[in-house]
């Protein structure tokens, strides 16, 4: 019998990352933006083989956009300590 410290033993479940705290946001989208969002979700499912909830898709798209926006990141860096 192997000891619990044996490096060959491990659970099948990977180490889970703690989900960040969520804030609820209600938005109204233009009909064409909403349609594209639904189509993007469908394309993701076909190409990646996985379902993704719309709220997760929106969060990821917004997050990636803000991370890549150099002007926003530069502005944000100047705001440290100035926000509430």
Encode pLDDT of 33-66 as tens digits: 999 999 999 999 999 999 999 999 999 999 999 9
Structure token pair of residue 43: 């394309």
CA distances from 26 to 29, 31, 55, 68 (A): 10, 15, 11, 24
Q: How far apart are CA 19 and CA 84, in angstroms?
A: 23
Q: Place 2 in a pLDDT band, splitting at 50, 70 and 90.
A: low
pLDDT at residue 12 above 70? yes
The pLDDT of residue 80 is 78
Q: 15 and 23 in contact (C-beta within 8 Å)?
A: no
- Give the residue from 22, 17, 29, 35 showing the smallest Cα distance to 63: 22
């Amino acid at each position: 019998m192997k000891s619990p410290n044996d490096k060959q033993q491990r659970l099948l479940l990977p180490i889970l990352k703690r989900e960040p705290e969520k804030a609820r946001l209600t938005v109204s989208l233009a009909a064409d933006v909403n349609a594209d969002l639904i189509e993007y979700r469908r394309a993701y499912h076909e190409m990646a083989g996985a379902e993704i909830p719309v709220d997760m898709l929106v969060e990821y798209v917004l997050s990636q956009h803000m991370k890549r926006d150099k002007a926003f990141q530069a502005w944000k860096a100047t705001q440290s300590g100035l926000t509430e």
